């Protein structure tokens, strides 16, 4: 279990305002290996750290992130932070990059469900020398493929939702990873099992899970021996990993 890496999902969304510098600062205080966050693009192409394609849920603003230039996005405050602005990728990278932890960056699609043109390259530019310490993830195969063609990232993760997975065999998922250049498959923890783990390992690929946010699901992921466990409660996952709590 000690080899399983823990990623603070959105910085630890159960405990601190998600995708905020406040959350990242707290997450860096725990013995996790990665800090996970999400990126959208502003109208002028700046990588913006926010989960949703719109500002409504987590900020004092409204409407699509893509409808505003970065200077306008920057004026909005994140709820629950006491006045922190929406962070840019450059700001998040500078904070996390100063620690030993790795960056786990999910590149999102826009409100229309399409990848943002040029966002992968712009993210690479903002990361600079941290690109090799960055795990890039996306539900969009085209985004993963673009990152693979650009090169230099530490890992490339193809994310698959639970519903599409029901119609796919482990061999199909391996093939999907191969087709876009992914080195890791990311699935909801409830979709991961031994057959999938073994098929990926036999093909030289990694398995990561998200949604392991409570003791039973964390214990299950630890017992399964995934490569990376992304959780909204990193302190609990760190403590359970240290105690090597088995699946009950």
Q: What is the pLDDT of residues 62-120, one digit of tens each?
A: 999 999 999 999 999 999 999 999 999 999 999 999 999 999 999 999 999 999 999 99
Question: 99 in the Ramachandran plot: left (φ > 0), alpha (ψ -120 to 50) or beta?
Answer: beta
Rounded to two decimals, what is the model's pTM? 0.96
Q: Dig out the tokens for 72 from the structure.
A: 């306008």
Q: What is the pLDDT of residue 211?
A: 98
Does position 229 have pLDDT exceeding 90, yes or no? yes
Neighbouring C-beta atoms of residue 81, cutoff 10 Å: 17
Q: Which of 103, 7, 114, 117 is nearest to 49 (CA)?
A: 103
Task: State the average pLDDT for the chain.
Answer: 96
The answer to whether 55 touches 126, Cβ cutoff 8 Å, is: no
Give the model's confidence band at 246: pLDDT under 50 very low, under 70 low, under 90 confident, else very high: low
- Map out the domains of the chain as residue ranges: 5-53+90-243
DSSP H or E stretch at residue 120: helix 119-127
Q: Express each pLDDT in 38-76 by its tens digit.
A: 999 999 999 999 999 999 999 999 999 999 999 999 999
Give the model's confidence band at 244: pLDDT under 50 very low, under 70 low, under 90 confident, else very high: confident
Does position 36 have pLDDT exceeding 60, yes or no? yes
Percent of the chain with pLDDT over 90: 95
Does position 240 have pLDDT exceeding 90, yes or no? yes
Does position 29 have pLDDT exceeding 60, yes or no? yes
Question: 211 in the Ramachandran plot: left (φ > 0), alpha (ψ -120 to 50) or beta?
Answer: left
Antiparallel, parallel or unpaired: β 134-138 and 155-159: parallel
Q: What is the pLDDT of residue 2?
A: 62
The answer to whether 229 touches 4, Cβ cutoff 8 Å, is: yes
The predicted model gives 192-221 an average pLDDT of 98
The answer to whether 186 touches 180, Cβ cutoff 8 Å, is: no
Give the model's confidence band at 247: pLDDT under 50 very low, under 70 low, under 90 confident, else very high: very low
Q: What is the pLDDT of residue 166?
A: 87
**Whole-angstrom Cα Rg for the chain:** 17
Longest dimension (CA), the chain: 50
Q: What is the pLDDT of residue 248?
A: 39
DSSP H or E stretch at residue 84: none
Burial class from Cβ neighbours inside 10 Å (0-12, 13-18, 19+) for residue 34 reads buried
Does position 128 have pLDDT exceeding 80, yes or no? yes
CATH topology assigned to domain 5-53+90-243:
TIM Barrel (3.20.20)
Phi, psi angles (nearest 5°) of residue 44: -95, 15
Percent of the chain with pLDDT over 70: 98
Name beta bridge partners: 158. 138, 185
Q: Dig out the tokens for 173 from the structure.
A: 């998922």
């Amino acid at each position: 279990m000690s080899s399983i890496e823990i990623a603070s999902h959105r910085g630890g969304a159960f405990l601190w305002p998600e995708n905020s510098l406040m959350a990242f600062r707290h997450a860096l205080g725990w013995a996790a290996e990665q800090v996970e966050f999400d990126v959208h693009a502003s109208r002028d192409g700046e990588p913006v750290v926010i989960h949703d394609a719109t500002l409504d849920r987590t900020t004092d603003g409204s409407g699509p992130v893509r409808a505003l230039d970065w200077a306008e996005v920057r004026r909005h405050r994140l709820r629950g932070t006491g006045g922190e602005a929406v962070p840019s990728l450059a700001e998040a990278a500078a904070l996390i990059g100063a620690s030993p932890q790795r960056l786990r960056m999910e590149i999102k699609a826009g409100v229309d469900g399409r990848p943002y043109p040029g966002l992968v390259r712009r993210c690479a530019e903002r990361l600079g020398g941290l690109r090799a310490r960055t795990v890039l993830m996306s539900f969009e195969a085209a985004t993963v493929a673009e990152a693979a063609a650009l090169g230099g990232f530490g890992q490339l993760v193809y994310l698959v939702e639970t519903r599409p997975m029901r119609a796919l065999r482990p061999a199909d998922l391996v093939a999907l990873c191969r087709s876009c250049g992914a080195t890791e498959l990311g699935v909801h923890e409830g979709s991961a099992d031994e057959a999938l783990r073994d098929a990926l390992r036999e093909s030289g690929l990694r398995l990561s899970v998200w949604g392991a946010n409570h003791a039973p699901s964390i214990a299950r992921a630890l017992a399964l021996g995934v490569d990376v466990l992304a959780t909204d409660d990193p302190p609990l996952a760190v403590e359970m990993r240290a105690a090597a709590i088995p699946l009950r």
